[in-house]
Structure 1
């Protein structure tokens, strides 16, 4: 685990200016890649830095970027915005065996502000993960199988939901982004694979063969 990230130096005014600039662009913004400092800073707690209209527009834009990538989640820092905001949605059709092993079920579109999660029970799961901010890489990450997530909805309502399986993995991955952590901080580094190698060799429901041949999680 990496040490706690330093908080963003962005002021509320700077955050709003950054959002307004991105919303004014005619094309979709690029996804920030690993090495950019915004991904290693603790994003600002959302407490009304944006108007309701700006927040709604930003959420809509983030959903577009997520779909275009394509991905199942996107955090505001991935657009260079150090704000505790993420969007999640998993509607991809996947192989039945893969879905069963990974406990992957559809996740309807969800926006989370100021999220925090905690593990429910001691059970963990280990699978390959990728990230839109680490293009062309995959690695195995061990994560809690089930989590409880506390967050704010865009209308300011406090919400707690429980997630399990692949949905729990998405929730954890995106929440980590908001606290300056990338999945590689938790990854089994001997499993690290170029996406082409992953697709050719390890893109199967479980990780048993990769674990044996690459020598991780003995």
Structure 2
């Protein structure tokens, strides 16, 4: 299966720097963890504003810390600022969950240390793709099959403003692509084989194998 044509990014956010700062302060100062924005909210379909100093150091650190808390509580392996209603190009990544060895081997899934990325962009390394079920914290209750590049090169800024470049492969590359897409106004459903769409309950009952062959046959989505 080849990766589908790249979806078009969303329109640029209409949030002013002051509105972004107010949204960040609201998230940081909240006594409880903020909810994760769900599909249908316009902020998920906007091209988030590049980070260029809209926040002071304490606000930036506070936002990243809060995003990590929300990601862990969900639980998930990545979270983008728009998922908290903040159209700013910041995301957090971390995968420390234990999975069965067969799934880990099939998906090339290895632990990913906590990483905060600012203004990320990725480029494929080669044309090979991997195709697996994928979910999203902003599309609660569902999963679908998505073809993603097997390896990508990520370019971004670190939390302290340093340029960062790294190549990721396997499941780590999938996380990088998924979260970067969020910052450009795209959801995983834009890339998905829609006939593969399944509820989490049906996925757990029927399709939670390392690969997708059985789901392809039973649900009738393409097998090229």
Q: What TM bracket, shorter-length normalisation?
A: over 0.9
Whether the 8 Å contact between 2:27 and 2:66 is mirrored in structure 1 is: no
**For 1:8, which of 13, 17, 21 is the aligned residue?**
13
Secondary structure, counterpart of 2:92 in structure 1: strand
Superposition deviation, residue 2 in structure 1:
3.3
* Correspondence 1:161 to 2:139: no
| Pair 1:103-2:108 in alignment | yes
CA offset digits 1:47-95 (Å, max 9, x no partner): 0100001100111100000000000000000000000000000000000
| Alignment correspondent of 1:25 | 30
Name the counterpart of 2:135: 130
**SS at the partner of 2:55?**
coil
Matches of 1:91 and 1:2, distance apart in 2: 30
TM-score under structure 1 length normalisation? 0.99
Distance 1:10 1:170 in 2: 26
Distance 1:217 1:164 in 2: 24
2:200 matched to 1:195?
A: yes
2-side partners of 1:145 and 1:24: how far apart? Answer: 39
Which residue number corresponds to residue 60 of structure 1?
65
- 2-structure distance, mates of 1:66, 1:177: 14
Once the 2 structures are TM-superposed, how far is the Cα of residue 217 of structure 1 from its aligned partner? Answer: 2.1
Partner of 2:85: 80
Structure 2 unaligned spans of 5+: 1-5
1:41 aligns with 2:53: no
Structure 1 CA distance for aligned equivalents of residues 29 and 130 of structure 2: 41
What CA RMSD, in Å, does the superposition of the two structures yield over aligned residues?
0.7
TM-fit CA distance, 1:3: 2.6
Structure 1 unmatched runs, 5+: none
Distance 1:217 1:98 in 2: 22
Structure 1's consecutive aligned runs of 4 or more residues displaced over 4 angstroms after TM superposition are none
Question: Alignment partner for residue 71 of structure 1, among 62, 71, 76?
Answer: 76
Residue 208 of structure 1 is aligned with which of 189, 203, 213?
213
Paired residues in the alignment total 218
What does residue 185 of structure 2 align with? Answer: 180
